[in-house]
Amino acid sequence: MSRIGKLPVELGDKVEANIQGNEITIKGPLGQLQYTFLDIVDVKIIEKTVVVTPKGEEAKAMWGTTRSLIQNMVDGVRDGYKKSLEINGVGYKFEVQGTKLILSIGYSHKVEVDVPQGLKVEMDEKAKNMIHITGVDKQALGAFTSKIRAMKKPEPYKGKGIKYVGEQIRRKAGKTGK
């Protein structure tokens, strides 16, 4: 039995849900998200809560997953999600121009990345080496931030590269002289 799947998803006052066939739509103050769930689970709206139940034995694999995805959608349209990235290195910097993120990360050219629709990239007011990425879709936000981080992962000797704020980089000692 799924412990997560058993729990109902509380919608609250500002969020409303609508189910048509195998598609659930969640609307809130920050936006709207849709998810198409599988036939093997049953999703119902009961008094400002969304309840997910399995239809058979094979449905137990997707029961808790479906419930978690719906919970993430509700949290996203109500509060939103935010991830922050930090860049370290001499000459490394972020620039935001409209819907493009321009990275100077040690290459002979600047790297331009298009920001996906629904996400917003902002520079930090105090620290010039930080950006904040916000959005309502947790999956899209995580995929975009990991894509940016993969362009220049932090290296273990000097710590140069792009990392999440609060991420601990395992440092190596390097060569020792006599």
Strands of the 41-45 sheet, one edge to the other: 9-10, 49-54, 41-45
71, HSE (Cβ side, Cα atoms, 13 Å):
15
Find, among 133, 152, 160, 129, the residue nearest to 144 by Cα: 133
Can you name the CATH fold of 81-164? Outer Surface Protein A; domain 3 (3.90.930)
Instruction: Determine the Cα–Cα distance for residues 18 and 50; give it in Å rounded to an integer.
Output: 10
What pTM did the predictor assign?
0.89
158, HSE (Cβ side, Cα atoms, 13 Å):
6
* 125 close to 167: Cβ distance less than 8 angstroms: no
Instruction: Determine the Cα–Cα distance for residues 4 and 54; give it in Å rounded to an integer.
Output: 12
Instruction: Tell me the mean pLDDT in the region 131-150.
Output: 95
Confidence grade of residue 178 (pLDDT, cut at 50, 70, 90): low
**What's the confidence (pLDDT) of residue 2?**
67
**What's the confidence (pLDDT) of residue 116?**
94
Q: What is the largest CA-CA distance in the chain?
A: 73
Tokens matching residue 76: 């996203």
Torsion of CA 75, 38, 1, 71, to 10 degrees: 0
Tokens matching residue 125: 């007011």
**Fold match flag (3-78 vs 81-164):** yes
Confidence grade of residue 58 (pLDDT, cut at 50, 70, 90): confident
% of the chain beyond a pLDDT of 90 = 72
Instruction: Tell me the mean pLDDT in the region 41-67.
Output: 89
For 84-101, write each residue's pLDDT tens digit: 999 998 989 999 998 999
The domain 3-78 having CATH identifier 3.90.930.12: the answer here is: yes
Q: Does the pLDDT at position 79 exceed 80?
A: yes
Confidence grade of residue 138 (pLDDT, cut at 50, 70, 90): very high
**What's the confidence (pLDDT) of residue 3?**
83
Q: What does the domain layout of the chain look like in residue ranges?
A: 3-78, 81-164
Place of tokens 């978690």: 68
Instruction: Tell me the mean pLDDT in the region 138-161.
Output: 93
